[in-house]
Amino acid sequence: MKKINVKILFLGLVITASIITLNSCTEKMQSNNSFSDMELRNTVNNNNQPFDMCSCIESNFPVEELSDIEIAGLNQMREEEKLARDVYLTLFTSWNQKVFDNISKAEQRHMDAILCLLNKYDIPDPVENNDIGVFTDDDIQSLYNTLIEQGNQSLVSALTVGAIIEDLDIYDLIEISGKIDNQDILAVFNELTKGSRNHMRAFVSQLSLQNESYSPQYITTDLFNSIINSGMERGGSICNNSGNSNNGNKGHKGQNGNGTCDGNRNGNNNNGNGNGGNGNG
């Protein structure tokens, strides 16, 4: 009887440990799929000094004359990034999915970066103190209302809304970037585009977990396929904040190649750059 009890106790401990490990892996995979972006993050630079985006833009890029297109582009993207943030905050409340919470924080950083440019050039902020879901631009206001209505229908619809927003962001950032030449605006828009590509990957990944797919509505199918078939990108290169990590992609499944949760060890950086292998987007 004593031996049997020991065996039962040991078996119970093994089952308990397995459940804990499974829960940990599930949380890790959800967190990794949800996205944790590094672009424009106010952390520290390579010298362990606090990183400030506005100071970076002020000190590393000249003040250049703005065209009407550049002014309009800054205003548009300031509100468009707010659109993304507000939609994700609202859908997180509706569905309690971490992907919306994570990316809403990234969108706030995107908003902050554009605000740095608006302040640098003394352009009035179209966002000002507007509440969540309130916009100056009528078209963006209408789009917000439509996306929230769609996103509240189901989780799949909500994730699709996320993909639509990133689809639109990428399209508009590329479109505006092709018409402007100010170095600081182009640098910030490049980082925002990189972040939106990561966000797109995250939402498409979440949709795939629901056995659903997404077809692009704004960018070309070729560009969309190129984005989702490549690894997450690490940002922060706008002021050389993250060294050479910009080139580091990670595998879609094998987070840093450990293979502990999904059995896939393909997550290591393949370009030999030590700083880039664990780029979190």
7 vs 3, 11, 15, 19, 84, CA distance in Å?
6, 6, 12, 18, 55
Count helices and strands in the chain by DSSP H and E runs:
8, 0
Q: Which two tokens stand for residue 92?
A: 């997180």
**Could you give the CA distance from residue 23 to residue 212 in angstroms, rounded to a whole number?**
24
pTM of the model: 0.73
Q: How many CB atoms lie within 10 A of CB 130?
A: 15
Phi and psi at 157, nearest 5°, equal -65, -40
What pLDDT, on a 0 to 100 scale, did the predictor assign at position 127?
A: 98
Q: pLDDT means per 10 residues in the chain (281 residues)?
A: 47 45 41 44 50 87 97 98 98 98 97 97 97 98 98 98 98 98 96 97 98 98 98 79 36 34 34 33 35
Question: Would you say how long the chain is, in residues?
Answer: 281
What pLDDT, on a 0 to 100 scale, did the predictor assign at position 230?
A: 96
Give the residue from 112, 113, 108, 68 showing the smallest Cα distance to 92: 108
Which residues, at least 6 apart from 26, have a Cβ–Cβ distance to it below 8 Å? 261
What pLDDT, on a 0 to 100 scale, did the predictor assign at position 50?
A: 54
Q: Map tokens 């506005």 to a residue.
A: 54
* Domain 51-230 bears CATH identifier 1.20.1260.10: yes
What pLDDT, on a 0 to 100 scale, did the predictor assign at position 47?
A: 53
Name residue 194's amino acid.
Answer: K
Q: How many CB atoms lie within 10 A of CB 121?
A: 17
Contact 254, 262 (CB under 8 A): yes
**Hey, where are the domains in the chain?**
51-230, 240-281
